[in-house]
Structure formats: C-alpha cells, structure tokens
Amino acid sequence: MPVRATKRGVERTHLERDCDVLVCGASFAGLAVARELAGAGARVLVVDRYEIGERQTSACAMPTNWMTALDLMGSWRQSFDRLVVHTPFHTARWQLPWSFSTFDYRELCALLWQQASSPQLEFETATVTGRDGTTVRTDRGELRAPLIVDALGWRRVLSNATAIQPPNARLSRGLEVHPPGRGEDLELWIDASYIRAGYSWSFPAGDELRVGVGSFWPSHRVKEPTVRLAGDLDLPAVGYQGNWIPHQLRRAVEDDVFFTGDSAGHCLPLTAEGIRTALYFGLACGRELRAVLEGRSTREQALRRYAAFSDSHARKYRVLLGAQRLAGQLTPSRALTAAVRAVENRRVAAWIFQQYLAIAPPSFAGAGSRSLPRARLAAAHA
C-alpha cells in the first residue's frame, strides 16, 4: 500500500499567509510556473491538496525532446519513435519524426520542484475552495498575493464565473489502469467497439503498462471498455486513475488571475495531449510573472501579454477541435481507416507530426529569461 503523505487531521494546521506569488496546483502547469521563478528573490507559495507527485494525473507520455529540453530525463521510462494504430480493418505503423517517452509522475514532479528551488519558495498542502479578489480561500485558511495562478486543472476553481460541470461541459473523459507488464510499442485503438468517439491506448512504461480509454463525449462511460481492453490484452484491470479533460481553450486571464494548463483548456483537442502544453503555458506564465517581480513589467502588462500569448494559439486549437468532431463522426468507417493508412507514408507522418509539435515546440523550454546567465539578463533589459 502506498503511504499517504498528505497531512491529515490535526497535522492540517491553520494556514494564513501573504506572499508575492501564489501558485495553486502543483502538477505540470503549476510546477512549470514555479520553475521559472527560481532565484527571482520573491516569496513564492505553491499549494496543492496532495503532496507533490502523490497523485498521478495522466498516462504520462510526452515528446522526448520536451523532457530533454527541461532536463527531466531522470524520470524517463521508455521511448517510442513509432505509433501502432489499430482500426477494426487495419493496423497501421506511423513513423514519427520525433519520439514520445513515458515517465514516472512522482519523479518528474520532484525534478521540476528541485529546479524551482529557492530560499523563499514554499509548498503547503491545502485544498483551494475559492477566491475573493486577491485572497484565496483554502480549507486551512486564507492566502493573499498580488500575483495569483490557477493551475488547478479542469475545475478552474479560482474562476468566479458560473462553474462548468460534466456531462454538459466541453470536456472529454479518460480512465486507465496500470497493470504490471512490459511492451515494445505505443499502441492506439480507434475502434467503436471500445469507444464510439475517442480512442483507447496502451503505453508501456518500464515494468508497467498504462491501458485506457478516452471519450470525446463526456456522457459516454469509459470504465467498462477500459476493463474490457485490459482483458483483451490479458492484463488485470488494476491501479485505476482517471479524470475529465477540457477540450476547448478557455480565457487564460480572468479577474486578474492567471489560468494555465487544464484550467485554461490548454490540453490539445483530438489527442488529449495536455502535459506538454501545461508545461509550455506554465513556462510562459512564469516568465511573465518573473518580469513583474524584476520590475520589467507591471502586473497589468503581464496579464495582457499572457492572455494574448494564449489567444494566439486559438486557431490551432480550433483546427484540432474540428478534427476531433470529424473523427467522432467517421468512427468506425472505412474513411477513417483510409486516413489512418495515409499516415503510414513517412513524409505525410513527418509533416503532420512536425506541425503538431510546433503548436508547443520544445525550443520554447530554453527560450526564457530563467535560463539566461544574470549578466546577459541585465544586458538584455538595460
């Protein structure tokens, strides 16, 4: 049994704090924000309802070049330079121009936290319940900061707008099991016998497999097909984890709060790839916050610039959402199989996957002010 690290009962003492930056959520997006603030000399408080890395939130696969760019290979499990895609009529092998890697969630979070480390950085476990202006309410008390980030995932807890709730909200849903086992291929199933609109997967990660089903329609159940797929692969359905996945971009700034990752709908439609984009927009958000802390911009300028940065991706998100809707209608037709076959052509696959990677390119990871030596930073802003 895993030991629960999160403070419970009497250990959950009262927490009342003022800080310069309050980052709510300590998964991919929140930790990427904190990483960009390392050494900025500010009081940064990160809160999450669980200890860092305690609760895995995804199948944990992302482009390998993002892992190397962020120096996260210490959490690496396996890499794949092709995708094996099954439809009821054909199995295709798509050769990728770059590889995907699986990783260990807890280890990756620990690495990001290490990179964020600075004397005035603190972490507290607390459940965020809401916000009044620059005061964030938690189950342990009130936290205040002029700069607030919501990296809390799809619930978008710090928004005071009307809550969106599944199954009516624009959300996909995903569920997976983590049986012990080994595999060589990253496999996808586009097969209506598992899910009508969506896809199923098996991601090998060292000595475990992550087998699951994602539905583009929130009202479609994913548990039964997940168990069935595991059974079809002769695997026990053990180690469940699942969540809702937003598939539409939302406002990245609301009421002077920065929203990043799933809370801003940054997960990509069609593929439900949300780790790379949570890191990407988290870094972008962190860089804007750092500019405020270093006196290079005002809070208002940072809010405007970050919102504009997120909005500048809207067309690409719309294209992917259009493809997601189309894919939902084509399943399980021969037209879809023809499309899957077309990507077997290496040049077609290279073009598609390069365009896809360019939505949030790994070069962005090294482009921030955090990675510049202090002398160059000073010169750049002189």
Ligand X SMILES: Cc1cc2nc3c(=O)[nH]c(=O)nc-3n(C[C@H](O)[C@H](O)[C@H](O)COP(=O)(O)OP(=O)(O)OC[C@H]3O[C@@H](n4cnc5c(N)ncnc54)[C@H](O)[C@@H]3O)c2cc1C
Distance CA 265, CA 262 (A): 5
The residue range among 55-63, 83-91, 311-319, 373-381 that interacts with ligand X, by the rule CB under 6 A, is 55-63
CA atoms within 13 A on the CB side of 102: 24
Q: Is 6 a residue that touches ligand X (CB under 6 A)?
A: no
| Two structure tokens written together for 215 | 């539905």
The residue type of 252 is A
Distance, CA of 292 to chain centre:
25
Do 104 and 77 touch, CB atoms closer than 8 A?
Answer: yes
β-strand partners of 136: 131, 143
Residue among 183, 198, 204, 212 that touches ligand X (CB under 6 A)? 212
**Minimum distance of ligand X from residue 242's CB (angstroms):** 5
Please give the span between the terminal C-alpha atoms of the chain, in angstroms, as a whole number.
55
Residue among 49, 137, 220, 304 that touches ligand X (CB under 6 A)? 49
The residue range among 36-44, 192-200, 239-247, 367-375 that interacts with ligand X, by the rule CB under 6 A, is 239-247
Q: Is 247 a residue that touches ligand X (CB under 6 A)?
A: no
Number of neighbouring beta carbons within 10 Å of residue 374:
8
Q: Is 202 a residue that touches ligand X (CB under 6 A)?
A: no
Binding mask 77-116 toward ligand X (x if CB under 6 A, else -) reads: ----------------------------------------
Distance CA 321, CA 326 (A): 9
Residue among 46, 62, 186, 340 that touches ligand X (CB under 6 A)? 62
Binding mask 130-169 toward ligand X (x if CB under 6 A, else -) reads: ---------------------xxx-x-x------------
Q: In terms of DSSP H, where are the helices of the chain?
A: 28-36, 64-69, 105-116, 223-232, 275-293, 299-311, 314-330, 334-342, 346-358, 374-380
Instruction: Indicate the residue whose CB is closest to ligand X.
Output: 274
Distance CA 83, CA 11 (A): 46
Q: Which CB sits closer to ligand X, 198 or 274?
A: 274
**Minimum distance of ligand X from residue 261's CB (angstroms):** 2
**Minimum distance of ligand X from residue 176's CB (angstroms):** 5
Residue among 83, 111, 150, 174 that touches ligand X (CB under 6 A)? 174
SS3 assignment, position 347: helix
The three-state (H, E, C) secondary structure of 75-137, written as one string: HEEEEEEEEEEEECCEEEEEEEEEEEEEECHHHHHHHHHHHHCCCCEEEEECCEEEEECCEEE
**Minimum distance of ligand X from residue 61's CB (angstroms):** 4
Residue among 23, 37, 40, 57 that touches ligand X (CB under 6 A)? 57
Q: Which CB sits closer to ligand X, 359 or 377?
A: 359
φ and ψ of 210, to 5 deg = -115, 105
**Minimum distance of ligand X from residue 93's CB (angstroms):** 20
Total residues interacting with ligand X, rule: CB under 6 A: 39
Interface positions with ligand X (CB under 6 A): 25-30, 48-50, 55, 57-62, 127-128, 151-153, 155, 157, 174-176, 212, 242-243, 245, 261-262, 267, 272-276, 278
